[in-house]
Amino acid sequence: MPVCVSTEVMRSSDKWTIENLVPSKELMERAGRAIFEQAEWKAPVGIICGKGNNAGDGFVVASLLKDHGIECEIVLLYENSFSEDGKYFFDKCVAKGIPVVTEGDYGKYKTILDCIFGTGFKGEVKEPAKSAIESINASDAYVVSADINSGLNGDTGMGELYVISDLTVSIGTFKYGHFLGVSKSVMKNKVNCDIGIKIIGETKELS
């Protein structure tokens, strides 16, 4: 059975790894590359980005798609809401000429990458994320969620509104929410990618 951790253990493990083993930008680059390598991308690709480091993973994927000649665009739901590392990789995307829009044309995408919320999300999904998630779920695209489906609680696997994915790429270690709650019905497939985060804390096996 897969090893899982709480979101709190994941956060502290991520922090410890950055302080002691792997610089934060390198860790973000590893996360984005892991997501890129797990999916079969059909163009055009819409990369739906929220705030902070979850969006940063999407920027890394966008850069890799561009490098491989796969048409993509970034849908930036929250302007000027970058983490430091996320801004670093966003600027790389801009320098490469990757289109950035604030409203996506969800009907045209063959593949959608969901990078709106991370495993720490709690509470109610509000605009503009609400409309984005509804549009993702109404689309005919192949949907990939980065780390966990946006709108799901990383510990309980529950939520009121959440992305339904064809593939969810967990980063570091599976979280409880990948196996609890509604996860089995909204994640058609899931895979975990070890990017070198040393887990500090309790682990459990869930199926």
DSSP assignment string, the chain = --EEE-HHHHHHHHHHHHHHTS-HHHHHHHHHHHHHHHS---SSEEEEE-SHHHHHHHHHHHHHHHHTT--EEEEESSTT---HHHHHHHHHHHHTT--EESS--TTT-SEEEEES--TT--S---TTHHHHHHHHHHS-SEEEEESS-TTS-TTT---SS---BSEEEEESSEEGGGTSTTHHHHBSSEEEE--SPPP-S--EE--
Cβ-count burial 84-103 (b if 16+ within 10 Å, e if not): ebbebbbeebeeeebebeee
**Which tens digit of pLDDT belongs to each residue from 111-140?**
999 999 999 898 899 999 999 999 999 999
Residue 67's nearest CA partner among 42, 89, 96 is 96
Instruction: Starting at the earlier edge strand, list the strands of the sheet with 72-76.
Output: 100-101, 72-76, 45-49, 111-115, 142-146, 167-171, 190-193
**Which tens digit of pLDDT belongs to each residue from 165-197?**
999 999 999 999 999 999 999 999 999 999 999
- pTM comes to 0.96
Residue 84: predicted pLDDT: 95
What does the mean pLDDT of the chain come to?
A: 96
